[in-house]
Structures are given as structure tokens and as C-alpha cells.
Amino acid sequence: MATERHQSGITTPKKKSTSEDAASRPERVDLWLKMLREHAQIKNGEKILDIIVSENSHKNYLRYEDGSFDAVIGNQVIQFFPYKIRLLREVIRILKPKGRLVLNVFSRIELCPCHLAVLQALIEQGGEIEEFRTPFSLHDPMELGDLAADSGFKEISVVRKTHEERFGSIKDFISTLHLSSDVAEIVWSDYLKDFIDADGLRVLTTSNFLFARVS
């Protein structure tokens, strides 16, 4: 089970917008929306939508009616989506007045030591580096806050949290990364051996959590 080790507030002052998707074509966006699947649930009397990246899904959560949800949660999703502001504006559409958004994205890879060790192995052994960097591509808390502001969200805050996870083996951890690299298992063991103790592989993961509301 993940346990929180550190927490600090980060302010998100406004800076110049980098809206790369302002003129994107809806039909192109729809191709990416097919990668999304959703899980709607009722929790404490509120209707909540979880959005999750899935290559095998053909559902499109943006087909929900206006004002359908009290909250939308995205866990490691938005950094994979090429038209981020368009996605967030559609989230606003399906949220009720005063509805909440919670996003979780990886912080800098330097704050995730096991992931950094994997990246070092990929660099030195000729593995798929860019593929592995993508999950960390939205690591800047100011950029994350600006995306929400440019999309129309209010009451925006970003909090950095570091969690500890335990894996029974290095192989178990590597399997969660979905790498296409053919770096040998013995190489992973060499780069990650310093993170093993009597309880298994200790993985620290630092993420930025965005909290925001609609008007």
C-alpha cells in the first residue's frame, strides 16, 4: 500500500499560455478520445468519473451530457493527450456547477529514483528513451496549473506528493512500465539493486496533484 512521505504546496502564478491545441480539428481529437475509457461511480452521494488511458477502449467519455458529474479524476492521463486544453474544456462541460477536477501526473523524473535508474539503463544500453520519458513530460507544476487556468478552471492549486510503493521483485516493477525495450533482466537488476531491502524493491514516486473547480 502506498504511504505518503512528503507534501508541500506549490503556487501556480499565471504565465504566457502555450495552447498548442487551440486550432486542432475535432476529428483528429476524436481519434485520441478512442483511447480513453471511463469508470463512473457514486461515492458519498456524488457522481464521480475516473478517466484512464486505454489503447483497447472504444468508449468516449466526452459523450456524456452537460453537467453530468460532481467530480472528474484523471490519474496519469493528461500528459499522454496531445490536445490538453480541448480535453480540459470538455471536462468542464460535463461537470456540474462548482464541480471538481483532480489530476495526478508525474513530477520530475529526478524525484523518482527508481524510474531515473531505469532511464539511465535505457540510455546506456540503447533502449527506448523517448517512450520512457513521455509519462514525465508534464512535470512542471506551473505548466499544469496554467493548462487548467487556460481551459477555464478556477480555484486552482497544485500539490507535490511523494509515495512509497513496495514490489516483490525488480521484474514486478519493470512489468508495470510497459517498456518495449529488450534490455536484459540482468541489466535491470544491476541498476536497481541499491533499492532492494528485506521487504523487496522500494520505489519512491513523486507526483503533482492538481485540484480545480468550475464556476
Q: Which domain holds residue 181?
A: 3-213
pTM > 0.95: no
pLDDT of 1 > 60? The answer is no
> Phi and psi of 178, rounded to 5°?
55, 45
Q: Give the bridge partners for 75, in sequence order.
A: 104
Using one digit for the tens of pLDDT, what is the confidence trace for 171-206? 999 999 888 888 888 899 999 999 999 999 999 999
**pLDDT in the model for residue 90:** 87
CA distances from 214 to 47, 62, 90, 112 (A): 15, 16, 12, 32
Phi/psi region, residue 85 (left: phi>0; alpha: psi -120 to 50; beta: rest), is alpha
The CATH number linked to 24 is: 3.40.50
Where is pLDDT greater, at 104 or 57?
104
Report the number of distinct structural domains present in the chain: 1
